[in-house]
Structure 1
Amino acid sequence: MPDEDRVPPGPHRELLVEIHRLHAEVGWPGLHKTSSAIKRNEQGDLPATLSHQGISKILRGESFPEWLRLESLVRQYLAWNFRRRNEADANVQHIQEIWMRASMTRRQKDPEEFAPTDVQLPPREFALKAAQVQAGGGDVFPLLSAAAQYSGVLPLALALMATLPDYGLRLLEQEGQRRDDASVVDFLNEIRSQPSSAWSGQDPYLSVMRGVFRFRPDYGAALIGLLRKQDHSKAISALMVGIARTGSPVDASDFLRGLSRLRSSQELVTEFLGTLSSDMPHALAQRTVDQLRTDRQQRAAQTLESLMTSYG
């Protein structure tokens, strides 16, 4: 627990007291163990991942966490606490209330600030207010999730396209992380119902599917079966592009193996290999060829190598 010189008395310190209490009640599990458990998400209720460095900074009061990351930490501690497991939602709500007070207190130092009721503003008004705070050097993202609880994620993300598009895309990525497969499809259906012009040239599918790829052990391969039934070709392509641009050779090989298990998968496999050859950095694509051979996916390795030669 940091001393009062680092974190003086107030809502932030109150928040740290609660987090350290939960940490102590489960025997002070290590940072790496906690981070790995959050990433595995065995309970299926954690909205974001958190590195061991991030956990350390939270516990030492060196950073004020985004709510979704803090919620994941709190829920993981509660999942290990048999005595409190049935009270998880109530404990999370209690800590979120403290986090909101601490967040508002931090913003009182800035000339352009959010009032506690601003999270209830209509999406367009909130987006304009957020842009003003951001221009003044403030960090607006911690409150976006709270605002989305009132307005809905999609309306708020759409409103942010005109003012802070990167923040709107981050909201969409978080939805890809926290939703299960069926719920992701529902959310993509909502996106599809919007005119493409509403996104100001941004790709909402890529943002959602980036969250899917980063958070699921199978990188979203199982989700593709549902997407095909709904004719979500844009979302499938976006998932492949996300893996090609930000994934590793191991990620690509594992995803390809998952694709191969799907019914009538050859068309998908061909599309993904083409995406790797065109969107993955050349050096990584070459390493992916080697990884595919190591994983005994010889035909895929040969095809990818041939495609790279053609594109080159």
Structure 2
Amino acid sequence: MAGAKKVGVGHIFLPNDLQIKIDNIITKLNISAAELSSKTSESFKNIDEVLNTVLVILGWVLVTCTFITSGVFLLVHNVVGDTCVAMDEWVARPHTHTALGDLIPCVNAATANESLSRSKEVTFELIQVVNEVILNVSNANFPSRIFNPPLSYNQSGPPMPILCNPYKPDLTDRKCRPGEVNFDDASTVWKRFVCNTKVVAGNEICSSVGRITPNMFNEMTGATNKSQGLYLYVPFLFKIADCTVARETLGSISSDYCPGVELHSKTIVLGLVVVSTTMMLSIIFWMILAKQRKHRRYSKKYTNQEGPLMAGYKL
């Protein structure tokens, strides 16, 4: 518009009133442009300050969280390392005073061995009692005219198999022989030899073919169950008492998991330290950059404000 105002053909120019209108609209446009520029600069300044503040706060929060996480992992690493060392010491010397020795008390070896020996002896004797009854009473064939409870109660039929004794008289391990029944099958096999009974003169006698009465069957299976319990569970309890199970478990954990946990925990701690350091340096550089940008903006503004005055002074 400013250029069109001065355009003329020969000595003919735009009307004066139109030129005045052009001047007015140019003035208004300049005022609007200046106001828009001022508001834009102010908005940019506010957004830049808010963004810088948010980024700085967010950065410090991330750095703080990273350092806290690093500290937690470092604590876990130290705890895991100390625990693994304590487990190794206890596995090597379970009966000496170690860090885990006070937490996991163990029965001394002499007491534990004596307990195991007594349990084997009881198991052996219980089975001997059952087998003696089977061999000397249940499987005995007394003349029919002889009635002498509890040895003779009219037992008859094929002989009962005896119970397999897992121990020899010296309490060493023994294998079952053919014709012997084991703990699991004893009650099922013996049940086929139970006879029907009747009471004669206050005594229970067989009224059908069979080698044992129901009462004898219950007593024999009860003794067998007690023997089976001692045979199966006492050795395991012995291992618990003398800490064999705990020693094997902790030794397995120490050898299988401790090296990997220590290695990975060190790697995680190192990575967190690197991330924390990187974030902290990034925030510092960001603050320096923001300060330099602000300084350049103020310098540019000051130069723009001083320029026209100096020019007017020279003119």
TM-score range, shorter chain: under 0.3
**Structure exhibiting the larger radius of gyration computed from Cα positions:** 2
